[in-house]
Amino acid sequence: MIRIAVANQKGGVGKTTSAINVATALAATGLRVLLVDFDPQGNASTGLGVDPGARARSSYEVMAGSATMADAVRPTAVPKLDIIPATQDLSGIEVELVDAEDRTSRFAAAMDALPPRWDVCLIDCPPSLGLLTINALAAARYVLVPLQCEFFALEGLSQLLRTVERARANLNPGLAIIGVALTMYDRRNRLSEQVAQDVRAVIGELVFETAIPRNVRLSEAPSYGLPALVYDHRCPGSEAYIALARELLGRLPQLAVAA
């Protein structure tokens, strides 16, 4: 199973939207996909229709050591896509684990114990570089970075790249960035265009060709508990996520074979 952390310490940049829709697009190719909601806000869980009452076992219990990952897995309405939901409890885990020796490696250990029932796992990280994101970076093989085309995008990106570098040096030597996905891209907006150019100038081919456009369908879908790709699979946002998933598979030959 290939593990991919979807990370960016800024909130509202499209992590959850990307995690849900890339996961759905990958599942549609026939891959068995697991999405781990690793944000106490639980937006990925809500966006995939998991009721708050159906989150008795969640990523919190996994991190607290009271449930295995396999215990916490739930199916979604999307064939071949399962989820480990999140609850608010997860926001307390940093404090609870402050003295735990394995506090950065707990999630990796829980992942290692998971039966090989999935081909790929996406981890939807919270908007910080705290312990949860560090656990995700310690457990993942790859990082997928959604980057909103706005003024401070590059500053945020360099901080994230430094964190990934540190995680690689100290926790997880195999960690690599699989790509940066430009999100909420607006072709008619000069700033969007400028940011996209600047980001490509700095990190070049790490940036996916596909930019995700600003599309209201992408923001409507979660209120129906559905991925945009199910809610309206022909909207520009859905089409872009299908293209992004295809590019991602192109960078993951080991997965493309399974798909």
Binding site for ligand ADP (CB under 6 A): 11-17, 43, 127, 183-184, 212, 214-215, 218-219, 222, 237
Closest separation in Å from C-beta 127 to Mg ion: 7
Burial profile 202-235: b = 16 or more Cβ within 10 angstroms, e = fewer: ebeebbbebbbbbbeebeebbeebbbbbbbbbeb
Pick what 87 binds: Mg ion, ligand ADP, none; C-beta below 5 to 8 Å, kind-dependent.
none
Closest separation in Å from C-beta 226 to ligand ADP: 12
Residue 105 has φ and ψ, to the nearest 5°, of: -115, 5
Those residues whose C-beta lies under 8 Å from the C-beta of residue 158, and which sit 6 or more positions away, are none
Pick what 184 binds: Mg ion, ligand ADP, none; C-beta below 5 to 8 Å, kind-dependent.
ligand ADP
- Is the separation of the CB atoms in 144 and 4 below 8 Å? yes
Shorter beta-carbon distance to ligand ADP: residue 65 or 127? 127
In the complex, which residues of this chain contact Mg ion (CB under 5 A)?
A: 15-16, 43
Shorter beta-carbon distance to ligand ADP: residue 110 or 218? 218
Instruction: Return left, alpha or beta for 49; rule: phi > 0 is left, psi -120 to 50 is alpha, else beta.
Output: left
Q: Residue with structure tokens 């998971």?
A: 114
Closest separation in Å from C-beta 230 to ligand ADP: 15
| Cα angle value 187/191/193 (rounded, 5°) | 40
Residue type at position 136: A
| CA dist 177 → 98, 139, 180 (Å) | 28, 13, 8
Closest separation in Å from C-beta 240 to ligand ADP: 8
Closest separation in Å from C-beta 73 to ligand ADP: 21
Pick what 30 binds: ligand ADP, Mg ion, none; C-beta below 5 to 8 Å, kind-dependent.
none
Shorter beta-carbon distance to ligand ADP: residue 38 or 142? 38
Shorter beta-carbon distance to Mg ion: residue 43 or 215? 43
